[in-house]
Amino acid sequence: MDYEIVARPSYSMLRVDLTPGDKLVTESKAMAWMDTNVRAQTSTRGGVLSGLKRKLLTGESFFQNTYEAEGGPGSITLAPGSAGDVVAMPLDGELYLEKGAFLASTEGVKCDAKFGGLRGFFNEGLFVLRCSGSGTLFFNAYGEIQEVDVDGQYTVDNGYAVAWEPHLDYRLTKARKIRSFLFSDQILLRFSGRGKVWVQSRSAAPLANWIHQFRPVKVQSDD
Amino acid sequence: MKFELQGNPDYGQVLVQLDPGEKVYSESGAMSRMDTGMELRARLMGGMTRAMARKFLGGESFFLAEYQSSGGGEIAFSPALPGTVLHHRLDGGTVLMTGGCFLACSEGVDLRTRFGGLRSFFSGEGAFLIKAEGRGDLFLNAYGAVIEQQVQGGLTVDTGHVVAWEPSLEYSIGGMGGLKSTLLSGEGLVMKFRGEGRIWLQSRTLGNTAGWLVPYLLR
Amino acid sequence: MRIDILSKGAFGSALVHLDPGDEFVSESGAMYRASSNVDIDVTTKSRGKGGILGGLKRLIAAENFFFSTYRVTDGAAGEVGLAPTLQGEVRSIELDGSAAWYCSGGSYLGSDSTLEVETKFQGLKGLFTGESIFFLRVGGSGTLLVNAFGAVHPIDVDGELTVDTGHVVAFEDRLEYSISKAGGSWLRSFLGGEGVVMNFRGRGRIFVQSHNPNEFGKALGQNLPPREG
């Protein structure tokens, strides 16, 4: 299976050339175009419970699609929802992914929802995806991806940490001196130890707040 | 009319230099800056019926903006969505494009709305078409990068990724595969192109950006 | 203090390197990464003017109510990364005290604590079309960071220039400006889909952005589920 990340780095896409027998697991909705001999299979992958956990806890899709080429080689191109870059990562072990960052993987990689830790943050939806196994993992970022080598301590706003290595300790904290009765807290991830963090240069939550003014308004019913 | 594409591939826009009396047409709301003294008129391109068809079927604006300056001058157009702006020179040929991809054109380009087929109504996406022909300069915009492909045989494309294609390609609109795949895959409808010809694809879709943002929205 | 503009492709951000004693201010929430010795202090005002009233005005100006101030706490150097909400370029502008800059609503990213940031409310004309026009006035000496939706084009105006309000990032206060409709009449502007434009006159520098956040907001907003009231 060959792949190439095209249209880098601003609006990156992942093109995968499949030979019969190769299987590519993707986030649903990610398929942009493909040869006519590429077929999709849709499943909850890992069972209904696993799919449900993924959906409810991380906002990732309940269903994932598996693509295969039939009767000869075929190519498929995947696009993330947001503008930004795509990273291909050979995996042999574990990697934590921020919810929404999963784009695709080879068959040997499994992704599970995991609670991000720290009581009191449950409502914030601070769940992460734990990806494990061996194969290739493809994740996407909103914006450019910056690799930060942590040696000691480093702070990243919760919405900007896309991926990090499992041997890094991480702790969720609130920014100090913020008057929480006036606006929502800035939640920070404090990493410690030695390892790599992938940081994206934009975050979905501020965009979601900004777009609020442009959304249609729900028609009020009388009751 | 002279023009210059600026900002490609990330933030494309087109800067147009008009001679005295010359006109340029744009998607409404696309003007970003211009020399003071440029005249703006709202035009129903192709007459009322076609304009109506464009409005209700094509999703494009009812009116196009027509700019003209007696002394000539400079004007810049930029699309609502960031990405690449494509220039297409028409010399009697035809190009088909999807709803939201028209940015601007010179005089001499004839725009007609074509109905993409009844099924496209159910996709919730802009699978209606604009047919451009005549002689002149046409500017299209894409959301994200543009990938040009030479189709030989067939290509299946999520409807939201299609920008434009040559009329030598035939297409049909349908589901991904069986009913289950269509309903559960989340892919919505696809356009299946057949034949030989060029196609221009965009690397992002507005629908998928919206879907990505939904979990983060305020109430 | 040193500022690196980080940018690969379409997404600019700023990495501010702080030495002991340095202070840098941003709109609150703009911090996306920081070394662990950086302290974040959130205040209702920037410097000098403002207080609660200033804060309210900033709220109206669609800017955050709060500014964050960053400094290092342990006598060592530190870094703080600042990111805008929308995709686009980040630029730094060096102010030497000879001219102040006006920054449109969402274009202010951060500034030296030596700069004075005040809101300037631009009258109701703009509200006619549903588009509001607000500016922050930034004066003094120091570095100002602005962000754009899309690419930034600096233009040295010498004479006249008409810019759609949605494309204005920042401009020097030595330029005169007036607000009007795009061509001929309100009806024409409305039918042509063009809203309010700014006519600049004189000599001075203006930063325009390649894309209009309002147009993007309308296009994306239509595709989102409705909000409550």
Residue C49: which pLDDT band, with cuts at 50, 70 and 90? Answer: very low
What average pLDDT does range B6-17 have in this prediction? 96
Chain B contact for C101, CB < 8 A? no
CB contact under 8 A, B217 and C224: yes
- Going across the sheet that includes C38-43, the strands are C38-43, C67-72, C24-27, C108-112, C141-147, C90-96
> H helices then E strands: how many in chain C?
3, 17
- Rounded CA gap, B194 and B46, in Å? 30
Residues from chain B that touch C216, judged by Cβ atoms under 8 A, are 80-82
User: Which helix (H) or strand (E) element contains residue A153?
Assistant: strand A145-157
pLDDT digits (tens, 9 = 90+) for B121-176: 434 444 467 889 999 999 999 999 999 999 999 999 998 899 999 999 999 887 76
- Rounded CA gap, B109 and B138, in Å? 7
CB contact under 8 A, C221 and A199: no
> H helices then E strands: how many in chain A?
2, 15
For residue C24, pLDDT beyond 60: yes
User: Which helix (H) or strand (E) element contains residue C60?
Assistant: helix C51-60
Could you read off the pLDDT tens digit of each residue along chain A, which spans 223 residues?
999 999 999 999 999 999 999 999 998 889 999 999 999 887 666 665 666 666 655 555 656 789 999 999 999 999 999 999 999 999 999 999 987 899 999 999 998 877 665 444 444 456 788 999 999 999 999 999 999 999 999 999 988 999 999 999 988 777 654 443 344 457 788 899 999 999 999 999 899 988 998 999 988 765 5
Cis-peptide, bond into residue A20, ω within 30° of zero? no
- The helix/strand/coil state of A50 is helix
Chain B contact for A17, CB < 8 A? no
- Please give, rounded to a whole number of angstroms, the shortest distance from the CA of A7 to a CA of chain C: 10
Mutate to test the interface with A, among B155, B161, B171, B204 (most CBs of A within 10 A): B204
User: Which helix (H) or strand (E) element contains residue A167?
Assistant: none
pTM over 0.90: no
User: Which residues 147-186 on chain B approach chain C with CB closer than 8 angstroms?
Assistant: none
Q: What are phi and psi of A125, to 5 degrees?
A: 70, 35
CB pairs under 8 A between A and C: 131
Residue C198 structure tokens:
């700014």
Q: At what angle do helices C213-221 and A204-211 cross, to 10 degrees?
A: 90
Which of A146, A202, A218 has the CB atom closest to C87's CB atom?
A202
Which of A33, A79, A208 has the CB atom closest to B204's CB atom?
A79
CB contact under 8 A, B39 and C183: yes
DSSP conformational letter for A56: I
Residues from chain C that touch B42, judged by Cβ atoms under 8 A, are 188, 191-193
Nearest CA in chain B to C149: B82
ipTM here: 0.86
CB contact under 8 A, A40 and B187: yes
Nearest CA in chain A to B82: A83
CB contact under 8 A, B10 and C161: no
* Block residue for tokens 């693509």: A67
Which of B29, B210, B219 has the CB atom closest to C194's CB atom?
B29
Residues from chain A that touch C9, judged by Cβ atoms under 8 A, are 8-10, 85, 144
Nearest CA in chain B to A78: B203
Find, among A17, A16, A44, A14, the residue nearest to A28 by Cα. Answer: A44
- Rounded CA gap, B139 and B197, in Å? 20
Chain B contact for A72, CB < 8 A? no
Torsion from C-alpha of B168, B169, B170, B171, nearest 10 degrees? -150
Query: What subunits make at least 3 CB pairs under 8 angstroms with B?
Result: A, C
Residues from chain C that touch B12, judged by Cβ atoms under 8 A, are 210
Query: Do residues B50 and B58 lie in contact, with contact meaning Cβ atoms separated by under 8 Å?
Result: no
Residues from chain B that touch C183, judged by Cβ atoms under 8 A, are 38-41, 67
pLDDT digits (tens, 9 = 90+) for B163-209: 999 999 999 887 766 555 555 555 667 889 999 999 999 999 999 99
Residue B47: which pLDDT band, with cuts at 50, 70 and 90? Answer: low
Nearest CA in chain B to A8: B145
